[in-house]
Amino acid sequence: MAYMHSLLYALWPGVSFKFGQYTCKSNFFYDFYKSNRLTFKQELTATDNMRKQNVLPNFTKHTKFIPALAVFIALTSVFSSCSVTKPSEYFKTLQQKDTTLKNFVSNDFESKIMKGDKLSIMVSSLSPAEDALFNSAGAGSGTAGTSAAGSFGGYMVEQDGTVMLHRLGKVKAEGYTRREFARQTETLLVPYMKEPIVQVSYLNHKVTVLGAVTSPKVIELPEEQISLIDAIVMSGDMIAGADRKTVTVIREEGTEKKIKHINLENHSVFTSPWYYLKPNDIVVVNADYAKIDKEEKRRNLQTTLSLVASGVSLLIIILDRVIK
């Protein structure tokens, strides 16, 4: 033990080590190279004096242990770098287990059109001229009134729940699903177009994914919904330091904001009503700070041990040459 303490004392400048009744308050070799006032012969004399005072042991009695000590230090450095933090995984409860999930959440949800929604309404029929007039109005280049506001065109649902459509004027949209509104519009367009087909999608529905993901983003939601897994994948998946056990979903319902914490390591998420995100949901992928801190400490320890091992190995070689 005294041998190792002596090596550490020689390696680290300015650090005090206490050996019994002696306390070494400065590094001998550090002082030597810093002051540059001792010759090599004086250094050996000073080292010998320290050995006589039992501050440094007699290395000549221990030179046979030098190779073994060097191997020990090298192995310690190697094994310290092998310990890594285990990453969290999706659906751990399903691993290596064939099963059938029941009560799976259905994705047939259809949202109702609301005031403030921005709709894309595209018409295709056997009347190309009328199609062009209708669709150009929806793109904002025609006379769609205030309903065609915005640089991306589309029809805004006004506060009275209606949209202004070419040929038809104000048409009620609030309270209908996209499919219901499309069928209603097709019926109203029959006097002006032959066999019209109407497609309706949302232009301002979105979900936001942020936090410990590769690429935080706002995801456009032209249809009804998107699964939580799809949203995370579209954001580049979680980073290594993410906590899959506490993914937070914030949902606005009326004048309230509901918050739900979801564990993506457990397959029960497939039966959760929060598995499918709704328009304007916010997904927050939390960081596992304990895991990040542990990994940072591991890397720092690995670096420190590598430097110590290199320094001590070099010191052993120098001492071995000096003693011989």
Annotated domain spans of the chain: 2-83+294-323, 92-107+205-287, 118-202
Q: Report if pTM > 0.75.
A: no
* Cβ atoms < 10 Å from Cβ of 159: 9
Task: Report how far residue 87's alpha carbon sits from residue 69's, in angstroms, rounded to the nearest whole number.
Answer: 34
Q: What integer pLDDT is reported at residue 222 of this predicted model?
A: 82
* Cβ atoms < 10 Å from Cβ of 44: 12
Please write down the long-range contacts of 186-191, taking CB distance under 8 Å and 24 or more positions apart.
Answer: 189/123, 189/125, 189/134
CATH code, residues 118-202:
3.30.1950.10
Q: What is the pLDDT of residues 242-269, one digit of tens each?
A: 889 999 999 988 789 999 999 999 888 8
- Asked which of 66-70, 95-99, 227-231, 233-237 is least confident by mean pLDDT, the reply is 66-70
Task: Map tokens 């019926």 to a residue.
Answer: 187
Q: What is the pLDDT of residues 74-100, one digit of tens each?
A: 555 555 545 455 556 787 777 667 777
What percentage of the chain has pLDDT greater than the value 70? 65
* Region label for 26, one of left (φ > 0), alpha (ψ between -120 and 50) or beta (otherwise): beta
Residue pair 202/118 in contact (Cβ under 8 Å)? The answer is: yes
Mean pLDDT score, 144-157: 57
Say which amino acid occupies 321.
Answer: R
* Domain 92-107+205-287, CATH class in plain words: alpha beta
